Copies of this chain bind each other. A is one copy, B any other.
Amino acid sequence: MIKLYDHLASGNGYKVRLLLSRLAIPFERIELDINAGETRTAEFLARNPSGRIPLVELDDGAYLAESGAILFYFAQNTAFLPDDPLARAEMLQWMFFEQYEHEPNIAVARHWLAHGAISTEQQQQLADKQARGVAALTRMEGHLGGRQWFVGGHCSIADIALYAYTHVAAEGGFELAPFRHVNAWLERMAGEPGHIPITQA
């Protein structure tokens, strides 16, 4: 069975859990305490030299890291990956946007505020993270006006990737109420078959 090295509070881990649940692919979840250094042990670094979760161990023993790459792997030959070459690239555009403009601001602000003690240096960077996070949400809001999903007529892994940290953005100090298209899309996502909450191990 597929093994998922994970941390329950991680939105990056949740992306993988959510896709596997929606695809009804069984997996064994191995919880690691990232705050206690469990992803920095020699044993874990031998599995993933980047020292990060999520990490997937496939049935043949191969490892795959990076949430976006793991989503792509499991989405192949399913409706979560569009067939059209341009739609496929647009989906990746949103997934790279998520990792470059969204996650480093919204997820990091959430981690500082909700899952640890914030340092003086982090406190100084918080206003910048929050301004950049609002810019990412504004970009999503503009795109979702008149659309059901980020790319094409189906939920794709771009939606899964963006859902993970957007739906818990309030934990990072972000006010979601003004983003009505984003809110409608969050509700649509939560109503899809196989949906699970981030708190479900």
The distance in angstroms between the C-alpha atoms of A99 and B97, with both chains bound, is 10
Q: Are A69 and B92 in contact (CB under 8 A)?
A: yes
Asked if A44 lies at the interface with its beta carbon under 8 angstroms from chain B, I say: no
Q: Are A99 and B101 in contact (CB under 8 A)?
A: no
**Majority SS of interface residues in chain A?**
helix
Asked if A90 lies at the interface with its beta carbon under 8 angstroms from chain B, I say: yes
**For chain A, which range describes its interface: under 10, 10 to 19, 20 to 34, or 35 or more residues?**
20 to 34
Asked if A37 lies at the interface with its beta carbon under 8 angstroms from chain B, I say: no
The B-contacting residues of A in range 102-147, CB under 8 angstroms, are 104, 139, 142-143
Contact of A89 among B73, B86, B89, B97 (CB under 8 A): B73
Q: Are B89 and A50 in contact (CB under 8 A)?
A: no
Q: Are A92 and B76 in contact (CB under 8 A)?
A: no
Which of A's residues lie within 8 Å of B, judged by CB?
49-50, 58, 62, 64-70, 72-73, 76, 85-86, 88-90, 92-93, 95-97, 99-101, 104, 139, 142-143
